[in-house]
Amino acid sequence: VKMASRLGAVDLGSLVCVDDFEIAAAASMAQHDFDYFAGGAETEGTLRANAAAFRDLTLWPRVLRDVSTVDTAVSLPELGLPCLGVPIIAAPVAMLKIAHPEGEPAAAIACGKKGVLYCASQQATTSIEKLSSVREEGIGRWMSEGTRNDDGDRGHTSDGDDAKYEQKSPKARNPPPNMWFQLYIFSDRQETEGLVKRAEKCGCAAFVVTVDAPVLGRRERDVRNKFALRKELRLENVVVTGTKKNTGAGSEPGTETQSRRRTTTSTTGTGTTSTTSTQASIAKRVGGRDTSLTWDFIKWIKTVTNKPIIVKGIVRKDDAKLAVKHGVHGVWVSNHGGRQLDGAPATLRALPGVVQGVEEGTRDLLQTKLFSKKKQKRIPIIFDGGVRRGADVVKALALGADLVAVGRPLVWGLACGGEHGVETVLDILKEELTTAMALCGVAKIADIKNA
């Protein structure tokens, strides 16, 4: 891998897969910053299990199928997605300006140009207002150019290489999907309601409520590194009542600016171990979140917004049934990228049970008077965890997911090349997905579940 001397200036042409991007990002970023994104909780067993689960699952291809045209498009209008070019979306990732100075706007613009939904994070280093404005401006500029096929030179086509550089008019480019907004529920409901209203004004089409982080998992890489945000960065969406905007260690509620420290002391002046105090400082990122949250919050949030509500962090069949019972619009299978409970199941192993729970929950509701007699479609299921290849997307779809989210791969793309780096990662994943579908004998996404 040819490396450049500064962050975001990697030779992208030398990187051919997501793993290459991770290696290049590790060489480009400060160790403590790379570890923040790459690390998991405690032994990182769940983090490793997420990726390993894909290696343990076999694809059994059909042959002699017409795959002269492979269509990767999907439609989920119930989640504000009338048309997506691929069933891949960008998972919410906090504090992207750690990875690259362009941060969230670069990632969001790249996703929009590739027809990929971008889910904005509450814990972003760019406010939702600025993110929306810069994204709209960047994508608008791109749509007005209409210079070449937005599939780039990695596109899969049956019309020969010349088709890759087919000229397009601005009208030929489909508008990008509206963003989603991920949030945590604060004990101060007014603060949460304010975030929801701000995101609505910015055109967010749905809200993703993360429910697997009432407290912060113990991420030992961050503890060892005494992780803290650079002082010029802060969380731009969150303001703690009675304080100035957050800065410093995670820039999240209740934190203050910390400098980088690599000293190793055994105790503090109070007798508390240094690692304990460091973990306590890092854990302040979740300050203000409601640790008493129950399923009843769904009823409340529906009084705040009429946008679709998706619960993120479901890995059990019974919780999936409860999600349906309480009227959510989507279920997101996730273990927070292995960053919360070490020992939790790999999400790919959890996926079939969640699908079964959603289906059983839907059947239970159909037996009540809550639905009319017309056939009720089950709510969509989003999946994340360990996805590094287009073939991984095929495997998750085959097990019942409707959309597959990627987080770390886009971080590595951002770190290596800013906006263009993210675009390149998405191009690679789409090319791999299209190739895997063709080799499996399926010509469209719906065929994957029926293969």
In our burial notation (b when 16+ CB lie closer than 10 A, e otherwise), range 305-341 reads bebbbbbbbbbebebbbbbbbbebbbbbbbbbbbbbb
Pairwise CA distance, residues 397 & 381, whole Å:
10
Distance of CA 133 to the CA centre of its chain: 20
Nearest to 107 by CA among 87, 85, 84, 126: 126
Residue 81 makes CB contacts below 8 A (sequence gap 6+) with 74, 75, 117, 177, 205
Q: Are 310 and 207 in contact (CB under 8 A)?
A: yes
Q: Are 216 and 250 in contact (CB under 8 A)?
A: no
32 in catalytic set:
no
Both tokens assigned to 357: 């729970």
Query: Which amino acid does the sequence have at 130?
Result: K
Catalytic residue among 32, 100, 156, 336: 336
Q: Are 404 and 388 in contact (CB under 8 A)?
A: no
Return the beta strands (E) in 269-407 as ranges.
309-314, 330-333, 381-384, 403-406
Catalytic residues: 336
